Chains A and B, each alone.
Chain A
Amino acid sequence: MKYKILDHPADLRLLVQGKTYQELFTAGLKGMTEILAPHLETPVKKSQRTITLKSPDITALLIDFLNEVLFLAQTYKEVYQEVNFQKLTENSLIAKVWGRSIKEFKGDIKAITYHEAQIKKNLQGNWETVLVLDI
């Protein structure tokens, strides 16, 4: 499971990879948290939120999931470092995210867009996609 923050002329690209969908989605969550609040200390599980979603396909599901996490983060002034998927299929999920409340965000994200996103297997056989974030 890994993520990499890449360049975009006006916004940000986030490359996410994982051996499984769980790993891929977790990489997305951690990448986003790194942008909102870089260099957080050891994960803590003080705040817990549940996310239930249905989407047309796996790529849309990842984007919808991250947008939901973003909504929770900005509404409750929290960032999430851990996630547990009770269910994760091609087009639906139930997830619990854990994290901490923070005083201020270091970075802003307006939304995770569908532009350029497509989950597919890379040469190493892992799931991968690039996400464009409007910041």
Chain B
Amino acid sequence: MDIKKNLIKITDWLWEIPKSFRKDLRVPARIFTTEKMLEATLNDKSLEQLINVATLPGIQQEALVMPDVHEGYGFPIGGVAAFALENGIISPGGIGYDINCGVRLLRSNLTLGEIKPHLADLTQAINQAVPSGVGRGGKLKLNDQELDLVLEKGAVHLVAKGYGEPADLEHLESGGCLPDAKAELVSQHAKDRGRDQLGTLGAGNHFIEISRVAEIFDEKEAQRLNLFPEQIVILIHTGSRGLGHQIATDYIRLMLKVLPKYKISLPDRELVCAPFNSSEGQQYFSAMAAGANFAWANRQLITAAIRQAWQKSLGLAAGPLEIVYDVAHNIAKIEEHFLNGQKKKLIVHRKGATRSFPNQPVIIPGSMGTASYVLVGQEKALKESFGSTCHGAGRALSRHQAQKTVRGAEIKQKLNKQGIIIEAGSLSGLAEEAPQAYKNIDEVVEVVHQAGLAKKVAMLKPLAVIKG
């Protein structure tokens, strides 16, 4: 059936594929986007994948995608799906392999004018302090006991060990620790694969960016978050590294084996799932929570390394680097939402989508060299998107297409001309992440702002980018 012909426009920012589109749909599918962006989305399989999500047992209200949607495997990237605890499922593919991939924003008290002479030194110091690239190990080698503490306590354990201040934890989603985590449900494989990766950035689209606050949209909210014009801020984008990838691999494999037992029929094996209340569902939930905690600990250790580099490069005048907020964009969490006037506990999956609860800061990184945004969650998000919003720009070109279109050296030169410093481990990796490989972040953010899911507070522009 033709998806395009069946799309119903609800508002200028919201479209629906009705439940009647296919017999196996349990709920409608909704897309937050514009008419223009929708055209591009119809060129890949993301809406087909969204429709498949709407067939899963126990799904509530609608299967949703955000304006940064693009084709994934199983679930589309940019997706939100909430399932009832009593008869719904949990699916590792609805969270992704990089469990708790997320973004943390640090703010300084300094302006661009004050750090400009030191910017190159600072970039180099951070690049040296935070290992990046594929398979690069970190400085902290964890034994089994320490690793288990990281898995069960997340950033809380790192702060207790002196890698941060207790106040840091108040500015992390879930306080940087999901209490349901159980280290014994994380396989030895996953522990071995991630053991030396705490405090490392990784490769791909992960990065550290030194930026300036280029524009304030909402004075009051900016003040509340201690953000001001020309202020220097630092963005960290990374996740749970090999440990999280292995947890997803292990449980996808396990769930495929037990699928016949639960009589769940799937249009795509990568949607594999188990009833949330089943033993496999509960085991995965606790292992996933442990992976999420590893990611929060990872961003905490990276923060500690950046703070050291910051002090070393800027000396006494450096001042503190405080956390604005830290959000997860690949995760599943138990949350209470109102459905038909009734409060109900749900297992909310966000894969390439960010939690956007009222007054909560939302950090949306743009593609390399373009703007990033600070937003604040809105009441309407609770009604329309299970308290969720977009997570980034979203890919428009494949990595190969990007490599064919532009060369890494050219991008580096172009960004340097704009005054942006680039420290990148690989030039081909740089080409894959070229700004033209992504959708326009300004358009994506405008959709969630206009749709009332999150409101714009500030725009950040990059000064230096560090990537693997």
Binding site for B on A (CB under 8 A): 5, 7-12, 36, 55-56, 60, 64, 67, 71, 74-75, 77, 104-108, 110-111, 113-117, 132, 134-135
The chain B residue with its CB closest to the CB of A53 is: B253
Residues in B with CB closer than 8 Å to A64 are 253
Residues in A with CB closer than 8 Å to B256 are 56, 60, 114
Contact of A113 among B73, B77, B133 (CB under 8 A): B73
How many residues from B make CB contacts under 8 Å with A? Answer: 40
Task: Give the A-B contact count at a CB cut-off of 8 A.
Answer: 93
Q: What is the bound-complex CA distance between A110 and B244, given in angstroms? A: 9
Residues in B with CB closer than 8 Å to A11 are 72-73, 399
CB atoms of B73 and A74 under 8 A apart: no
**1/0 contact string of B194-219 vs chain A (CB within 8 Å):** 00000000111000000000000000
5 pairs, A vs B, C-beta closer than 8 Å: A10-B399, A56-B257, A67-B253, A113-B270, A114-B272
Query: Nearest chain A CB to B294's CB is how many angstroms away?
Result: 14
Residues in B with CB closer than 8 Å to A113 are 73-74, 93, 270
CB atoms of A104 and B44 under 8 A apart: no
Residues in B with CB closer than 8 Å to A134 are 73, 96-97, 245
Most buried by B among A9, A64, A107, A111: A9
Contact of A71 among B71, B74, B189 (CB under 8 A): B189
Interface residues in B27-75 (C-beta closer than 8 Å to A): 44, 70-74
Chain A contact residues, majority secondary structure: loop
CB atoms of A135 and B70 under 8 A apart: no
CB atoms of A10 and B395 under 8 A apart: yes
**1/0 contact string of B70-114 vs chain A (CB within 8 Å):** 111110010000000000000001001110000000000000000
Q: What is the bound-complex CA distance between A55 and B268, given in angstroms? A: 17
Q: Is B246 an interface residue (CB 8 A)?
A: yes
Residues in A with CB closer than 8 Å to B11 are none
CB atoms of B136 and A104 under 8 A apart: yes
Residues in B with CB closer than 8 Å to A55 are 253, 257
Query: Nearest chain B CB to A8's CB is how many angstroms away?
Result: 6
Query: Nearest chain B CB to A47's CB is how many angstroms away?
Result: 15
Most buried by A among B73, B77, B96, B248: B73
Q: Is B174 an interface residue (CB 8 A)?
A: no
Q: What is the bound-complex CA distance between A116 and B256, given in angstroms? A: 15
Residues in A with CB closer than 8 Å to B252 are 114
Q: What is the bound-complex CA distance between A56 and B254, given in angstroms? A: 10
Residues in A with CB closer than 8 Å to B399 are 10-12, 135
CB atoms of B253 and A108 under 8 A apart: no
Residues in A with CB closer than 8 Å to B345 are none
Query: Nearest chain A CB to B340's CB is how many angstroms away?
Result: 34
Contact of A108 among B72, B134, B248 (CB under 8 A): B134
Given A8-B398, A135-B399, does the pair A114, B269 have CB atoms closer than 8 Å?
A: yes
Query: Nearest chain B CB to A34's CB is how many angstroms away?
Result: 14
CB atoms of B270 and A106 under 8 A apart: no
CB atoms of A7 and B401 under 8 A apart: yes
